[in-house]
Amino acid sequence: MNIEMIRAAAQRLDGEARCTPLLNSPFIDDLAGRRVWIKPECLQHTGSFKFRGAWAALSALEPSIRAKGVVAFSSGNHAQGVALAAARHNVPSVIIMPADAPHLKIENTRSLGAEVVLYNRASEDREVIGLSLEHERGLTMIKPFDDPQVIAGQGTAGLEIAKQTSSLGVEKGDVLVCCGGGGLTSGIALALEADAPGLCVRPVEPEGFDDVTRSLFSGKIEKNIKTTGNICDAIITPQPGNLTFPVMQRLCGPGLIVDENEALESMAIAFLRLKLVAEPGGAVALAAAIFRKGEIEGNDVVVVISGGNVDPDLFAKSLNTLV
């Protein structure tokens, strides 16, 4: 993993991924007690940053390998990112999804051109299904975070942050990143190390799923006890990745932890002040800027809103926090 891989990924992503803007609001600055710069990856294709890593990984494959197709496990954002990246490369994709995944996400993934293979969480092993697809059909597995090209792709968001903050004269501060397996967090950290060394990445996690925060604290990979049961579904990964953790350990500041209500309130604030739709897991970094401001230093903070794929019911619930 190095900056050259990220720069190469950025070249492959040019004209394919969106360079998302850097937004702000005086109302959010007031809430956070400092200037807050928002990187809205919910505006990325498929509604999350995952398209960056998926495109980077697919575009790095040797063409004859890629032509056979790709496979991924995911019920959410990675699924849609891989499906769209594969469709635009005109190669087949197979996404292995639990049969009880939300109907809308299954339909979306199919609509983006993927073949969806449903499995029964209780009676079937998705790893076995994935391996058999790899071997029988010659598909290449695209991992959600622990893959150098995926990390490089997510890191392109960091290159953009470095350029955008520099043009604003912001050279010091924390960059709060919603953190699951650490692909986005480590990718951005590597990009900023090279292009904006005064900016320090801080992973943000939901309460009860603070594996990265604890791992950074103890110096070794720690696991979450629970694997489900949080509205921040996009970032409740069981543990940091083997590739992402050493990068985070070397480059990131301490983690920040927010609770579900803080995530919900922050979704409502993004609605009201930024006119953006954030999903719960995509709003935790904004929540940390607002509700953990005592754990942050400096005049400026950058906040990544990592995704916006949220069901209408849950979004409506977040709006109730405004009343």
Residues that bind a second copy (CB under 8 A): 18-21, 23, 26-27, 30, 40, 42-43, 47, 84, 108, 111-112, 268, 271-272, 274-278, 308, 312-313, 315-316, 319-320, 322-323
Nearer to a second copy, 136 or 313 (CB): 313
- DSSP 8-state assignment for residue 139: P
Nearer to a second copy, 244 or 318 (CB): 318
CA dist 288 and 180 (Å) reads 15
Nearer to a second copy, 27 or 217 (CB): 27
Give backbone dihedrals phi and psi of 99, rounded to 5 degrees, phi first. Answer: -60, -25
Provide the minimum distance between the beta carbon of 103 and a second copy in the complex, in angstroms, as a whole number: 12
Provide the minimum distance between the beta carbon of 51 and a second copy in the complex, in angstroms, as a whole number: 12
Closest CA to 113 of 142, 89, 137: 89
Nearer to a second copy, 65 or 322 (CB): 322
Long-range CB pairs of 63-66, under 8 A, 24+ apart, other chains included: 65/140, 66/91, 66/140
Provide the minimum distance between the beta carbon of 160 and a second copy in the complex, in angstroms, as a whole number: 12
Provide the minimum distance between the beta carbon of 75 and a second copy in the complex, in angstroms, as a whole number: 17
Nearer to a second copy, 30 or 297 (CB): 30
Nearer to a second copy, 137 or 275 (CB): 275
Provide the minimum distance between the beta carbon of 260 and a second copy in the complex, in angstroms, as a whole number: 19
CA dist 70 and 67 (Å) reads 9
CA dist 173 and 192 (Å) reads 11
Provide the minimum distance between the beta carbon of 165 and a second copy in the complex, in angstroms, as a whole number: 15
Contact 210, 179 (CB under 8 A): no
Written as six digits, the tokens of 46 are: 């498929």
> 206 by DSSP, 3-state: which?
strand
CA dist 39 and 21 (Å) reads 6
